[in-house]
Each structure stands twice: as C-alpha cells, then as structure tokens.
C-alpha cells in the first residue's frame, strides 16, 4: 500500500498564511473591523482556520469580535465543542455544533447505531454497506468470510480506522484472514460496481444544514462537490488493491496524484459541481427528481438515527428550556455518498467539520453559497440579545412576586376546587404550547422566504412521507429510550407536541366551557369555527 503524504495541520489563520488557506482569491473587498455599533450582530470566528467563513461573515454585515469575547450572537468553531460551552450559552446565541452528533459522525458509532436500526427496519436502511466493528465483531466477520469460501465467492472489503479522517489508514483486502483481531477498525463490503464518469470512480459531497433538534429540522443544499478518483477505474483484483488513486475518491488523497486536474470551470477536472452533475444526468435521460429524492431520504433516515442522541444531549445541556424554543445550536454537515451503477446512493460517512478550504474556484463558489444561505436561514437578529435580557428580567420578577402563577392546591380542597385547579393548569399548558406553535409558524415563514439554494427535507410536505419518517423516529426513540428515565419518555410522547394552532384553540375553548359550567355561568356567544371569541382575544392579546 503506497504511503500517503501527511497533511500539515494549520494552527490558525494569520495575515501570513491566508494565501495557503484561500488559494482562490475573490474580488470581494474585506471589510475593516469597525467600532461596535448599537444593534450590530456580532460573530466570534476565533475557532476557525477557514478564511471563507470570515468573508461570508463580512458579507452578512456581522461584526467580528475579539477572540476572547464569549457574548457574540454567532460563535463558529471548526471542531466539535464541549457540552459545557453549549450549557453556558445565552438563548440569543448560536453555535455551529450540536452535542451528540458524533453518534453518526464517528465511523464506529455510525456503524453501531445503523446496525440497531437495520435490525428493527431492514427494508428502510439498505443504503449502508454491510459493516463490522473490530475487535467486537471480528468473529462474526470471520464466520462471514468462511461462508463465502464455502460458496466459492470472493468479495473485496475496505478497511478503515474507527476514528480516521482524510483517507489516512484506508486499505482494500480480499483475504479477511490477514486482518488483526484486536485493532479498532471498521470493515465494510466494497461496492465494486460504482457509477462511473469518463471511466473514473467518484463520490458526492452533499451539504446538510440542521437548524433544530426540537423539533428536528433538516435542509439540503442543492449543490455540492463531485470528487473524482485520478486513475481509471478497474474492478478490484489482487494486482490493483493498492492503487488508492483508483479506488478512493477522497480529495485529500487524490490531490497528491500528478494526474489530479485542477480546472476553473464546474464541468472539467477532478473536482466538479453537483449542479453540473445533475445537468449531466438529465442530458443522459436519468431521473434527476428521483436522484434528489433518494439522496434526501438517505439523509433524513440517517439523521433520524442520530435524533434521540442529539435531543437527549441537547436537553442535558439546556435544562428547563421549553420544547420548541429557538435552538442555540445548528450544524452544517458534509455527507459523503457513492452512487452505484444503478444510481442507488450509498452512505460512506458523515463529516461534522467539513472542510471549507477553497483550493479552487469551484470550492469558493459552492462553499460560499452553503455558508451564506445557512446564515440567512438562521435569522439571527440584532434584537435577540435585548429580548433575551428582557425575558430574563420578567421571569425573575415573576418568580420573586409570584405573578401569573397558579395557586397551590391546599390539602382538603373540595372536588370543585380540584376541578378548577386542573382546568387552570390545563389552560396554562395550552397557552404555552400555543405561543410555541405561533413562534414556529413565524420561523417557518422566514425560512420559506430565505431558503436560497436550500430545500427543507424534514419535516416534508408530503403527509405520507412524514408519517413514514415519524414511524422511523418512533423506532429510533424506542431503541434509545429502553432503560431511560420515564419522565423523558413521557415528554417525548406528549400529544401536544404534534398539535396545530387550531387544535390547541379548540382545546382552550373546551377548557373555558368547562370552567364556566363550574362557575355556574352561561357560555358566551362563539366566534368562527365554534371558538369563544371573547376568551381567545382576552387570553392571547399579548402573545
């Protein structure tokens, strides 16, 4: 196996190394850091080495803060952040990583969690190559190899370090007997019949934006990168297993080959755009709509596997935060997907810190769009910090003076008092949920106006598809929740989480009717759709 050059680790951006960090230079002028003005959105980008992030921050009109400033509206870090950091964030802040996302971004964790879902729903998770985690599944792998020998079949396997990256340590084997039994490895069946372009194997880098885990919201960017091998593809045999430029599509591997072609256009060279690729598919009478549908389904089903882990970790970091509140976390993920000769997508891996290096113009064009559209979707506002402080002050006063709180039920209370108390609690719960629903509607309206080149793939508009995904989510949570706290299970199963605005208003109407019956009052004249107009106006004029 040829040795791969070790890539240098860039410690951080500086005026001296910007040319190596951003080989493609844009014509956009850098903004000079100005004195902070009232009403300015601030961003701390001390945690990134990628200059394109700083350029997009400037283009958005955000003001970059000193490295030590922890109060910025936006905090961007290349690597995953500690859960303590997420716990310390104020509600107006945003950081570009979720806790718990490593459950699908480490190769061994992804394999383990996918295996659990495959056992429960095998027909829904056919997009992952058969995988073994060493050393735990070494025996199972050897038994599989023995069965192949009995049938006189031979398969190729790709071997990867459990927590590797950038193609380092990857090899191909056909003889499983030679594998060490105690090393921490991921072994997968190699997809021997990939879809080829101009005789080369390639993979797709798909960019995904997750803006919330409660509720789950997923957006797919309708462009990306096509990354090609640099040696013409020949199905694996004993003589070419070590030709990594043929079998691996990692850019970090192939850029070292002298045959790597750099081109400033999107339709030539060893790196191209997915926009061009979809045009290529269309020109060759392939179903582009099905291509995007298959990719979307693969992404959503994969993130469904992660959702219980992410939601639980997020709740642990943000205790007491009402469900449906504005998320302080978001994440841009890089999905690496391989197409077989029938154009079926196969998941290779997921990067929670995808490279935003811009070695070529195509990198700059695609990644600038990914970042710019993502920040516009987040809807970070200058008023967020002020509103957060005002809300904290109001909550402190409420706790101090007991305003708007429901009176405690005294021991020995009558049946009538108990019923009134239950109704009051029910109304408070419904009011809170109604406010959350209305905020969610407002957020969706903003997203619909500012999606740019993103498309919302979860929740989908198709009701049948949504029901299918919700069933998979239920299975994922059932697997995750076994042995978990009963209170967490009850919260996730709360029927109010799925109710729409009109459903909650109907329940509030019924609460008011029941309350008036208890008080011996006559029910008021109802408004449209049978709701009590005076009650709704009085109760929600300030929401």
Over residues 164-203, the pLDDT tens digits come to 666 677 889 988 887 888 888 999 999 999 999 999 999 9
Torsion of CA 81, 86, 88, 89, to 10 degrees: 110
Whether omega for the bond prior to residue 459 falls within 30 degrees of 0, making it cis, is yes
* Rounded distance between C-alpha atoms, residue 424 and residue 417, angstroms: 11
Which of 387, 337, 324 has the alpha carbon at shortest distance from 93?
387
pLDDT of residue 534: 39
State the CB neighbour count (10 A cutoff) for residue 348.
20
Q: Are strands 185-189 and 131-134 parallel, antiparallel or unpaired?
A: antiparallel
Strand partners, 189: 157
When pLDDT is averaged across residues 496-524 and rounded to a whole number, the result is 60
CA-only gyration radius of the chain, Å: 27
With b for 16 or more beta-carbon neighbours within 10 A and e for fewer, the 452-467 pattern comes to bbbebbbbbeeeebee
CA distance from start to end of the chain: 65
φ/ψ of 377, rounded to 5, equals -65, -30
Q: Which domains does the chain have, with CATH numbers?
A: 42-95 (no CATH), 103-321+332-378 (3.30.470.20)
Kindly report, residue by residue over 361-420, the tens digit of the pLDDT. 999 999 999 999 999 999 888 877 777 676 666 666 665 665 555 666 667 777 777 777
* Rounded distance between C-alpha atoms, residue 390 and residue 113, angstroms: 42
The residues near 306 (Cβ < 8 Å, ≥ 6 apart) are: 100, 101, 103, 104, 113
Kindly report, residue by residue over 109-151, the tens digit of the pLDDT. 999 999 999 999 999 999 999 999 999 999 999 999 999 888 8
């Amino acid at each position: 196996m040829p040795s791969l050059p070790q890539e240098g680790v860039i410690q951080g951006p500086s005026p001296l190394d910007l040319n190596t960090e951003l080989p493609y230079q844009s014509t956009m002028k850098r903004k000079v850091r100005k004195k902070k003005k009232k009403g300015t959105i601030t961003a701390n980008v001390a945690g990134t080495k990628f200059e394109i992030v700083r350029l997009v921050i400037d283009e958005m009109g955000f003001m970059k803060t000193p490295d030590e400033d922890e109060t910025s509206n936006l905090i961007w870090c290349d690597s995953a952040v500690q859960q303590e950091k997420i716990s310390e964030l104020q509600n107006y802040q945003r950081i570009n990583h979720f806790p718990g996302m490593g459950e699908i971004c480490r190769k061994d964790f992804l394999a383990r969690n996918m295996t659990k879902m495959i056992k429960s729903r095998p027909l829904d998770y056919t997009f992952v190559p058969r995988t073994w985690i060493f050393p735990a599944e070494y025996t199972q792998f050897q038994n599989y190899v023995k069965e192949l020998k009995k049938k006189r079949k031979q398969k190729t396997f790709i071997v990867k370090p459990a927590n590797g990256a950038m193609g380092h340590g990857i090899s191909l084997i056909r003889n499983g007997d030679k594998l060490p039994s105690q090393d921490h490895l991921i072994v997968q069946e190699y997809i021997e019949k990939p879809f080829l372009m101009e005789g080369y194997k390639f993979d797709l880098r798909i960019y995904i934006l997750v803006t919330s885990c409660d509720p789950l919201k997923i957006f797919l960017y309708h462009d990306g990168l096509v990354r090609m091998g640099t040696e013409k593809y020949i199905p694996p045999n004993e003589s070419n297993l070590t030709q990594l430029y043929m079998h691996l599509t990692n850019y970090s591997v192939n850029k070292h080959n002298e045959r790597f072609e750099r081109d400033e256009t999107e339709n030539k060279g060893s790196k191209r755009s997915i926009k061009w690729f979809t045009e290529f598919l269309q020109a060759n009478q392939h179903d582009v709509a099905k291509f995007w549908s298959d990719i979307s389904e693969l992404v959503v089903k994969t993130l469904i596997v992660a959702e219980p882990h992410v939601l639980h970790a997020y709740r642990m970091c943000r205790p007491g935060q009402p469900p449906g509140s504005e998320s302080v976390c978001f994440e841009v993920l890089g999905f690496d997907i391989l197409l077989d000769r029938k154009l079926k997508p196969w998941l290779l891996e997921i990067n929670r810190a995808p490279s935003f290096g811009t070695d070529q113009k195509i990198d700059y064009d695609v990644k600038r769009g990914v970042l710019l559209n993502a920040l516009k979707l987040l809807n970070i506002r200058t008023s967020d910090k002020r509103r957060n402080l005002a809300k904290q002050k109001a909550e402190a006063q409420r706790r101090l003076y007991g305003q708007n709180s429901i009176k405690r039920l005294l021991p020995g209370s009558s049946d009538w008092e108990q019923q009134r108390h239950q109704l009051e609690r029910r109304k408070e719960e419904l009011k809170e949920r109604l406010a959350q629903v209305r905020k969610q509607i407002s957020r969706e309206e903003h997203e619909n106006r500012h999606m740019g080149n993103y498309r919302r793939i979860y929740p989908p508009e198709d009701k049948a598809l949504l029901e299918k995904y919700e069933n998979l989510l239920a299975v994922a949570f059932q697997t995750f929740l076994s042995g978990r706290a009963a209170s967490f299970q009850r919260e996730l199963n709360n029927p109010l989480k799925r109710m729409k605005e009109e459903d909650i208003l109907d329940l509030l109407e019924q609460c008011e009717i029941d309350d008036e019956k208890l008080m011996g009052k006559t029910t008021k004249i109802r408004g449209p759709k049978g709701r009590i107009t005076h009650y709704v106006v009085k109760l929600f004029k300030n929401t």
